[in-house]
Structure formats: C-alpha cells, structure tokens
Amino acid sequence: MHDDPSAQWTVESLAVRAGLSRAAFARRFATLVGEPPLSYLKHWRMTRAAKLLREADVPLSTVAAQAGYGSEFAFGKAFKREYGLAPGNYRRLARAATAATA
C-alpha cells in the first residue's frame, strides 16, 4: 500500500498479498499498527496528498488521483475531514507559512 497508495486496495487484496485470510490479516494489522488497514490507508493517502499540496505545483486533480480518489470532489471532502480545510486552502496556507519562515 505504501508503494501504490492510489490502487483500489481492499482488505481482501491486502490479505492476499500478505498470504493471510482477511480476518487474520485485519487482526494482525490492527494489532501491529494500531488501527484497521483501510483507516491506515486513508491516513497514508491524506499524508501524501498534504505533502504534494505543500511541495508540488500540480493540479488538484493530480493530487486526488495520486491519493486514490476518482474525483476532486470526493478527495476534497475526505481531505477536509482529515485536515479541517479544503485542499486549495491548505495549499495556500502551507505555502504562505513556508514563505514567511524563509
């Protein structure tokens, strides 16, 4: 999931790659990581998306696609739930903060 966060991962597909049943994989993942696999995946995607918004000058549609979302709208809603800001606002504030400290 780290190598290809935009893939349409499911617990089943991750379990197959790990060579475990869905239940065993989900249980072991949650025990080792501290949260269920798809919650972790969502957090990982949002973390990478936030980094892209801060550091790369790419369109929001590109950020959404790289985060595994089929539309900017769906990505925007998920991003706002995670960070409390729309992606465009996050980008502007992050870049303004970087410019202020430079």
Q: Would the pLDDT of 65 be above 90?
A: yes
- Residues 14-29 have a mean pLDDT of 97
Tell me how crowded residue 24 is: count the other CB atoms within 10 A of its CB: 12
Q: What is the mean pLDDT of the chain?
A: 94
Domains of the chain and CATH, by start:
37-101 (1.10.10.60)
**Percent over 90 (pLDDT), the chain:** 89
Task: Map tokens 């504030």 to a residue.
Answer: 93
CB-based contacts of 56, cutoff 8 Å, min separation 6: 63
pLDDT at 94: 92
Q: Residue 16 carries which DSSP code? A: H
